[in-house]
Structure 1
Amino acid sequence: MTVVRGLVGVFNGDGGVRGELAYALGKLRGTAECALCDITHRGIRTNAEWKDVVCELAVPFDLVHRNERSAEVARLTGDETPAVVAATDEGYRLVMGPADFAGVDGAAVEFVRVLRERVAKGGLRWA
C-alpha cells in the first residue's frame, strides 16, 4: 500500500497582491469561491480550527495558490481547484477535487474526515 508522506492543498485562486485582490473582490461580488480557503481562513486570518486539526494528520500539509503549484501538481489538478494532492513514495496522487469539498461548508473537522475517507478510498495509507 502506498504511503502518504505529505499533502498539498491548492486554493482556487492565485497568490500575490493581484491574485489576492482579485479573489477578495470576486468573493464580495459572489463571483469567486474557494472551499479550501473557507476551511483554512476566517477573513484574512488563519482559522484556529484548521490549525488544530491539520496537526492531527501527522504529515506536512502545504497550502499553495494555483500560480504557485509545482508542474506535477498543476498537471494533476489542472483547472479543477480547490484540490488536495498527496505526496507519496511513488509520486503525487490526486486525492480530492472540487466535488469532494461539497458539504464541508468551511468546517475543518469535516474536511479532515472527508480527506481521510478519500485517502483510504485511493488505496493510500498514512505514514
Structure 2
Amino acid sequence: MAQVTELAGVYDADGGVRGETAYVIGHLLGRAHCSLCDITHSPVRRKPAWDRMAATLPVPVRLLHRNELDADLADAIDGEPLALVAARVDGSWSVLLDAADLDGLDGDVDRFRGLLLSRLRERRWEPAAL
C-alpha cells in the first residue's frame, strides 16, 4: 500500500499582510472565495474545531497560501483550481481533495474530516509510521 507522510491544504489566497488583507476585502465584496478558508477559519480567526480535528489526523497537515508553496508541491498542483488538499504519497504530491470537494463541505470541519479519511481509504493510502 502507498504511504502518506503529510497533507498540505492550499488556500486560494496569498499569505502575508497584503495578501490576507486583499482576500478579506475581496471576500467582503463577494469577489473572493476560498472554501478551505471557510473550513479552517471563522470570520476573525482560525476555528478551534479545526485545530482539534487536525490533532486527530493520522498524518500532519500543513496549511499554505498559494504564494508559499515549495517547488515540488507547486509543480504537482500546477493548473489545478484552488483551494485543495494534497497528500505526499511515497514521496510525491497528489491531489486528495479538489476545489469542488471542498466547496461541497460548506465550511464544516467534521464533514472535511470524514471526506478526507474516506478518500484516503478509497485510494488505499495508509499513514506512514511517524
Structure 1 match to 2:127: 126
2:71 is the alignment partner of 1:64: no
Q: 1:81 Cα deviation (Å)?
A: 0.8
Instruction: List structure 1 runs of 4+ shifted beyond 4 angstroms.
Output: none
User: Given residue 93 of structure 1, which amino acid in structure 2 is its aligned partner?
Assistant: S
Tell me, what secondary structure is at the counterpart of 1:8? strand
Structure 2 match to 1:115: 116
Percent same amino acid among aligned pairs? 39
- Work out the CA distance in 2 between the residues paired with 1:23 and 1:102: 17
* 1:1-127 matches, cutoff 5 A: 1-79=1-79, 80-127=81-128
Q: 1:121 Cα deviation (Å)?
A: 2.7
TM-score, normalised via structure 2 length: 0.90
- Work out the CA distance in 1 between the residues paired with 2:64 and 2:124: 25
Structure 1 vs Structure 2 CA RMSD: 1.4
TM-score, normalised via structure 1 length: 0.92
Q: 1:19 Cα deviation (Å)?
A: 0.8
CA contact (8 A) 1:95 1:122 kept: no
User: Given residue 60 of structure 1, which amino acid in structure 2 is its aligned partner?
Assistant: P
- Work out the CA distance in 2 between the residues paired with 1:83 and 1:32: 16
- Work out the CA distance in 1 between the residues paired with 2:57 and 2:50: 11
Tell me, what secondary structure is at the counterpart of 2:126? strand
Q: 1:107 Cα deviation (Å)?
A: 0.8
User: Given residue 43 of structure 1, which amino acid in structure 2 is its aligned partner?
Assistant: P
Paired positions, count: 127
29-38 or 72-81: bigger deviation: 72-81
Q: 1:102 Cα deviation (Å)?
A: 3.1
Q: 1:8 Cα deviation (Å)?
A: 0.5
Gap runs ≥5 in structure 1: none
Tell me, what secondary structure is at the counterpart of 1:46? coil
- Work out the CA distance in 2 between the residues paired with 1:77 and 1:44: 28
